[in-house]
Chain A
Amino acid sequence: MSDTTPGDPNAPALPEAEGPAVGRDEWVARHGERRLTRGGRLGEMEDRLRAVPWWAFLILFLAVASLMPAVEASGYVRRVGFDTAIYMLLALGLNVVVGWGGLLDLGYIAFFGIGAYAYAIFDSDKFGIHLPTIVAIPAITILGAVIGLLVGLPSRRLSGDYLAIVTLFFLELFETVMLNGNQIFGHNITGGANGILNVDPLSFFGHTLVTQHQGIFAVSYYYVALAVFAVVFVALRFANLSRIGRSWRSIREDPLAAEVMGMPINWLKLTAFATGAGVAALTGTIETSLTGSVFPLNFSPTVLITIYAMVILGGSGSQAGVVLGAILVNVLLQVLENPDQARVLFYLMIVVGVLATFRFTRRLAVLAVETIVLGFVIHAIVSAVHPSWATEGHNGFSGLMSHWVLVPENLTPWVGQVAYGVLIASVLGITLLRGWARVIALPPVLYLAAFVWENLMIPNPGPTRYIVLGLLLIVLMIARPNGLLGERRVEIV
């Protein structure tokens, strides 16, 4: 396998191969070799980074994260930090199922909901039960894992598609049951659409962690979430390095081969599934202890796609990757809420995308000049013909951009609808073009994209965020299925 050493004879000898790694085939191994032989400063840096053990990164990350509230003390930042930690936990759990087990679990958010509801039922005034936190959290985590096991059971001898159906239906069912749970044989258990309110905050040995401190979000919850994150991260890390982690990866790579080797693949699938469910349930308890309430609609498929986008963007199978994905996606969602930041983000992404595609070539120069000129020409013509279509005069970045892109005072709905439709069609069409044809055709599309973004998408952050996440999933699956930090996998036929 390694007898074809590429490159010049003076190159340093390759490190001794570590022997065949489980769950890797020849192509992946060669990919690893290529990485080892990558020269230059970049390769050197990569080698050094690879030599740093994973726990060093974890400690560094935790240190930076725990210093964050000290740097920026606003309640908003703390709350976003807490949410990010929750998302990181959820992404870690989903990574076990999707990244390691290779199972498509579309009911993952239901287990998050089960944890949240279980905590709300066992720790609130609703039934007057107040379990101590130290008992409730482990018990609910196990409950989540057991329910996960039960849900996975019917699909154990079936292919991945059937698991996807059963789990997706389970999510839908969970929502239905929680919505109608106020009339189960005349008993009100889940509070229906009104949810359960006044859930206890966390308390340890009689010491209660308040959720609000002098009107702003108490920082203690942020640290609790971080601590739980650290524990879950390390536990899953060890699981992955151990025998069961190797087995999980083997069923992901080739279930048939694993079965032939005598692995109990059904049991392994179920454990992966149950582990993910347990982590989700655990996360649900922490989330609910802070928010103090649960509602059925908190656990909709829209949350599911958010978590999937995190895992796929970061790189499914890589723990550091999914954590990075969780941070990036949550920041993205926050940015999309703010019109000014969303505007800057859009143009930044365009510039980065164009730079990455064309590098510093003549094509880039032509493209840039063409795009800028096109915008000013359109702007000049339209403002001469129809002045109310080209408003100007905001300050800052948006004011600057309003000299280029058209921002009508009142956009007639059909104009936006047509522009959006044409934009989608032309973006799809442009992927079919190659070479100079693409360079020539791109500027109008970019201009149209800016127009749609400014006039249609920035004013509607609700749908826009899920459009962006949906697109992210499609584009990533096609262009870079291994995400940012994941390892590329190959299907062996």
Chain B
Amino acid sequence: MPTFLQLTLDALTLGSVYALVALGYSLVYGVLKLLNFAHGDVVMVGSFIGYGALQAFGGAQSPAVPVWLLLILITLAAMAGCAVLGVAIERFAYRPLRNAPRIAPLISALGVSFFLANSMQLLFGAQQRDYQSYLLSGGSLYFRGFDVDTVHVPLLRIITISSAFVLMAILWFMVNRTRTGRAMRATSFDGEAAAMMGIDVDRVIVFTFILGSALAGAAGVLLGLRIPTFTAIGFTLGLKGFTAAVIGGIGSIPGAMVGGLLLGAAESYTAGYWTTSWSDLVVFSILITFMIFRPQGLLGRADIRKV
């Protein structure tokens, strides 16, 4: 039986990755009012790019560069690759449908999701890819760290949690303290009015996809460092990501973080105290409860329908 502290550590690690995924959904939903079903698959592609970059630098056994630099480089590679992918998806699958009925881009997104997952399977096979992070500098990512009570907090966990929070802080800064961020907030508040005020809405949307997909790429690498990745993870991950976004309040950035952490907590405490196989059921119940009693989520603003 794992202790409460151990489970809390799991919750934080899992939750910070979910939060990164949820942010991608939230950002895109904010400006486009579109559920980007392909987002989970972008995370999966990110973890594959990270794996590829890791192999290009000589693999986990004998990397060509110092470990700290290696980790930064593969994360940046995944972020850049996913940003390009996200922009391409927006340009070719969503932009032509900007003025179509609401259901059209959703179906297109479903198509993109299947296209990505199966393309990756066609190219790289269905087998698992293990980053083998336990080999990095003789396993010190796991041995090092500090102890709280009886629980060992490995360095890898610290890196995962802290880099997720650093990324979220950077995102918060970009959205709240830069010109483009202000344009994003304006567009998400009222796209039409923003366009009339001289904001280039297309540019804002592209920027949003770059931000969201880059976070997805980082999430993919953070995930891949801990567990082996394969092409089918995108679907479940996407589902968890947008559940987190809904819990926190879709369209709200702090909401996505809170939602991700809550979801991580729900999953790891269920797994620890009850059973792993029913954790989906618990998450689903939370989702339904939120939908019935607080559809705008924890931190979202209530949706006012204008006629």
Contacts and interface: CB of A to CB of B under 8 A. Distances in A.
A371 interface: no
Given A158-B291, A162-B291, A301-B235, A478 B108 contact: yes
B242 interface: yes
Given A165-B35, A428-B92, A473 B107 contact: yes
Given A102-B103, A467-B115, A166 B122 contact: no
A305 B103 contact: no
A308 B114 CA distance: 12
Interface string A81-116: 000000000000000001000101010000000000
A170 B243 CA distance: 12
Contact of A463 (B33, B121, B288, B305): B121
B66 interface: no
Contacts of A457: 122
A176 B277 contact: yes
A168 B105 CA distance: 16
A464 B102 CA distance: 28
A473 B246 contact: no
Contacts of B303: 159
A481 B115 contact: no
Given A154-B292, A172-B280, A477 B287 contact: no
A161 interface: yes
Interface stretch (B93-101, B180-188, B263-271): B93-101
Interface in A411-441: 416-417, 420, 424, 428, 431
A420 B287 contact: no
Given A158-B295, A165-B287, A463 B235 contact: no
B243 A169 contact: yes
A104 B107 contact: yes
Given A466-B118, A470-B113, A478-B96, A172 B107 contact: no
A440 B277 CA distance: 56
B35 A474 contact: no
A460 interface: yes
Interface in B92-147: 92-93, 96-97, 99-108, 110-115, 117-119, 121-124
A471 B107 CA distance: 11
Contact of B101 (A155, A166, A420, A491): A491
Contact of B111 (A416, A428, A472, A491): A472
A106 B91 CA distance: 25
Nearest to B105: A477
Contacts of B281: 173, 176-177
Contacts of A469: 111, 114
B105 to A, nearest CB: 7
A312 interface: yes
B273 interface: no
B104 A305 contact: no
A183 B278 CA distance: 11
A160 interface: yes
A102 B104 CA distance: 10
B284 A471 contact: no
Nearest to B29: A161
A164 B292 CA distance: 15
Contact of A478 (B33, B97, B103, B242): B97
Contacts of B88: 428
Nearest to A418: B123
B236 interface: yes
A489 interface: yes
Interface in B208-260: 235-236, 239, 242-243, 246
A216 interface: no
Nearest to B108: A477
Given A169-B284, A456-B122, A471-B111, A489 B101 contact: yes
A431 B92 contact: yes
Contact of A470 (B112, B284, B292): B112
Question: Taking chain B's interface residues, is the majority helix, strand, or loop, or is none over half, making it mixed?
Answer: helix
A466 B123 CA distance: 14
A256 interface: yes
A180 interface: yes
B69 interface: no
Contacts of B106: 104, 160-161, 164
A98 B101 CA distance: 12
Interface string A138-168: 0000000000000000110111111011101
B210 to A, nearest CB: 17
Interface string A250-287: 00000010000000000000000000000000000000
B111 A155 contact: no
A155 B291 contact: yes
Interface string B276-307: 01101100100110011001000000010101
A420 B107 contact: no
Nearest to B278: A180
A477 B122 CA distance: 24
B122 A474 contact: no
A170 B236 CA distance: 12
Interface string A467-487: 101111110011001000000
A481 B104 contact: yes
Contacts of B113: 470
Contacts of A463: 118-119, 121-122
A166 B242 CA distance: 11
A242 B280 CA distance: 41
Contacts of B284: 169-170, 173
B296 to A, nearest CB: 10
Contacts of A102: 101, 103
Interface string A185-224: 0000000000000000000000000000000000000000
B66 to A, nearest CB: 28
Contacts of B96: 478
Nearest to A420: B123
B192 to A, nearest CB: 10
Contacts of B99: 491
Nearest to B281: A173
A166 B283 CA distance: 11
Nearest to A309: B111
A184 to B, nearest CB: 9
Interface string B23-36: 00000000001010
A491 to B, nearest CB: 5
Contacts of B295: 157-158, 162
B243 A165 contact: yes
11 contacts: A104-B103, A161-B35, A166-B291, A173-B280, A176-B280, A256-B307, A428-B91, A466-B114, A469-B114, A470-B115, A474-B115
Given A102-B101, A172-B280, 19 more contacts: A155-B291, A162-B295, A168-B239, A169-B239, A169-B243, A169-B287, A172-B235, A172-B236, A180-B278, A256-B307, A305-B110, A312-B107, A420-B122, A424-B119, A428-B91, A464-B118, A470-B110, A473-B108, A473-B114
Interface of A: 98, 102, 104, 106, 154-155, 157-162, 164-166, 168-170, 172-173, 176-177, 179-180, 183, 256, 301-302, 305, 308, 312, 416-417, 420, 424, 428, 431, 456-457, 460, 462-464, 466-467, 469-474, 477-478, 481, 489, 491
Q: Which 3 A-B pairs have CB atoms at the shortest separation, nearest pair first?
A: A473-B111, A470-B114, A470-B115
